[in-house]
Amino acid sequence: MKKKRIFGSAVLSLAMGVSMFATGAFGATTPESQDTYRVLIQGPSAEKAKVQEQYGKRWDFGNQGFTAEVNSKQYQALLKNKNIDVSQVGIHTIDARVEGNGNGKGKDKGDYTVQASYPSDQTPWGIQAIYNDNYIQSTSGGDGIKVAVLDTGINRNHIDLTDNVEQCKDFTQSSPLVNGTCTDRQGHGTHVAGTAVANGGYDGAGIYGVAPQSELWGYKVLGDNGSGYSDDIAGAIRHAADEGVRTGTKVVINMSLGSSGKDSMIASAVDYAYSKGALVVAAAGNSGPYANTIGYPGALTNAIAVASLDNAFVNGTHRVSNFSSRGNPNTDGDYYIQEKDVEVSAPGGGIYSTAVDGNYTTMSGTSMATPHIAGLAAKLWSSNKYWSNSQLRSEIQRRAKLYDIKGGTGAATGDDYASGFGFPRVK
């Protein structure tokens, strides 16, 4: 029996949510119920200013309008205002489900000392696959690159993550940006972050992600039920891009979240981030295997949509997971990215990674595939820091073509609507 790994005596307040089975991914649950309406207000500047004076603002997106939180009475009054357009802000949800014992039910553990066990596998199958090395013992790379994980937050005290955490910010509070806190009470964000950047811990006995030397920016944009408002997500995307500019560093933005509908605030935030040099990677969604089920923001042209692969082989290649959302069959085959195209694939079925309680757990989803690509991006960028984001993206696409995926519904030889260009790897 190995000794327990103990990390200081940090005490975490933990209350695991009960909504972890987000298999369908794009649920319609509101993060806050009762009498609260999150609204986007658009119109002439003078009219917007009047409304802002009355109701305050949360995010101001300039010409696109601003958002605010109002009660139902105020909402009704806004709807009657002929000088402005009012619409409710959309909801985005995590793209994963938990497997095995992590069902999230009745797991309110309260405060306790972090006491981590050793992982049963330090380099899970997805790491072996993306490194194309079945005997890999540890990983390396990512030095100097920032990986912004926009998710349910992270457990910044996890032994295998703590040294990587450089920023920790919460975009879900009543004040739209709280610095220094990013508590994950759901587990999804901690798991996603681990796949991208886990570093094996101080003793090297923990789990490894794809790019363990990257710096982690934990941006909490989703609440404890795994859902969040699109204005907060848009604000966080813009903030990550601005922080890249401010610090003069390359930023990879990982969004293992989605919605079936296109959101204007997120779409323009993704365009903005791309124009500022960030690389945006997003989950394809978990609504497969039918065509045109791809979710946003992955479906946007400036976000790399990542499909999920299983640890199983069909037609001599990894198989696209059944749950993985498919792109548009009318625009595949051309090795050119249009809106609603899947771009690349990566391991997402049965992925073992860091758990919010300081241990390890297995989850499945395009949520788990996405950080494999974000980690790969960070690793490649760290050895080629002069590359622009579009040069990096071309390199990822080139590597994807080297491993064409032919297994699973919709997958075929060449660029296809299930797997995109293929599975890009380290070597």
The full DSSP string for 293-310 is -PPBTTTSTTSEEEEEEE
Identify the residue among 19, 331, 359, 409 touching Ca ion (CB under 5 A).
331
User: Among the options 345, 353, 364, 367, which is catalytic?
Assistant: 367
Output the smallest distance, CB 73 to Ca ion, in A. 40
Identify the residue among 147, 207, 284, 305 touching Ca ion (CB under 5 A).
305
Question: What is the Cα–Cα distance from 350 to 309, expressed in whole angstroms?
Answer: 10
Distance of CA 52 to the CA centre of its chain: 31
Residue list 64-93, contact with Ca ion (CB under 5 A): none
Question: What is the Cα–Cα distance from 48 to 56, expressed in whole angstroms?
Answer: 10
404 is known as an active-site residue: no
- Mapped onto helix, strand or coil, the DSSP state of residue 270 is helix
151 is known as an active-site residue: yes
**Which residues touch 425 (CB under 8 Å, ≥6 apart)?**
129, 130, 131, 132, 376, 399, 402, 403
- Euclidean distance between the first and final Cα of the chain, in Å? 36
Question: What is the Cα–Cα distance from 426 to 84, expressed in whole angstroms?
Answer: 51
Distance of CA 276 to the CA centre of its chain: 19
Query: Which two tokens mark 393?
Result: 């993206």
Question: What is the Cα–Cα distance from 427 to 424, expressed in whole angstroms?
Answer: 9
Give the helix/strand (H/E) hosting 55. Answer: helix 45-55
Candidates 146, 158, 141, 140; CA nearest to 202 is: 158
Candidates 426, 274, 305; CA nearest to 369 is: 305
Output the smallest distance, CB 311 to Ca ion, in A. 18
Output the smallest distance, CB 246 to Ca ion, in A. 26
Residue list 166-195, contact with Ca ion (CB under 5 A): none
Per-residue b/e over 263-294, b at no fewer than 16 CB within 10 Å? bbbbbbbbbbbbebbbbbbbbbbbbbbebebb
Compare residues 327 and 358 and give the one whose CB is closer to Ca ion: 327
Compare residues 216 and 279 and give the one whose CB is closer to Ca ion: 279
Does 280 sit near Ca ion (CB under 5 A)? no
Identify the residue among 151, 224, 231, 416 touching Ca ion (CB under 5 A).
416
Does 253 sit near Ca ion (CB under 5 A)? no
Output the smallest distance, CB 132 to Ca ion, in A. 17
Number of chain positions touching Ca ion (CB under 5 A): 10
Does 307 sit near Ca ion (CB under 5 A)? no
Identify the residue among 44, 336, 383, 385 touching Ca ion (CB under 5 A).
336
Does 325 sit near Ca ion (CB under 5 A)? no
Question: What is the Cα–Cα distance from 93 to 89, expressed in whole angstroms?
Answer: 13
Output the smallest distance, CB 127 to Ca ion, in A. 23
Identify the residue among 341, 353, 369, 396 touching Ca ion (CB under 5 A).
341
CB 321, CB 405: distance < 8 Å: no
Question: What is the Cα–Cα distance from 160 to 25, expressed in whole angstroms?
Answer: 27
Residue span binding Ca ion (CB under 5 A) among the ranges 1-9, 46-54, 216-224, 400-408: 400-408
Residue span binding Ca ion (CB under 5 A) among the ranges 39-47, 193-201, 249-257, 304-312: 304-312
Identify the residue among 35, 60, 108, 334 touching Ca ion (CB under 5 A).
334
User: Among the options 95, 151, 224, 357, which is catalytic?
Assistant: 151
Output the smallest distance, CB 304 to Ca ion, in A. 6
Compare residues 144 and 277 and give the one whose CB is closer to Ca ion: 277
Does 264 sit near Ca ion (CB under 5 A)? no
Does 273 sit near Ca ion (CB under 5 A)? no
Candidates 302, 367, 370; CA nearest to 341 is: 302
At residue 60, what is the residue type?
D
Does 313 sit near Ca ion (CB under 5 A)? no
45 is known as an active-site residue: no
User: Among the options 92, 95, 160, 188, which is catalytic?
Assistant: 188
Does 292 sit near Ca ion (CB under 5 A)? no
Does 258 sit near Ca ion (CB under 5 A)? no
Output the smallest distance, CB 333 to Ca ion, in A. 7
Does 279 sit near Ca ion (CB under 5 A)? no
Just list the catalytic residues.
151, 188, 367
Q: Which residues sit at the interface with Ca ion, rule CB under 5 A?
A: 303, 305, 331, 334, 336, 338, 341, 404-405, 416
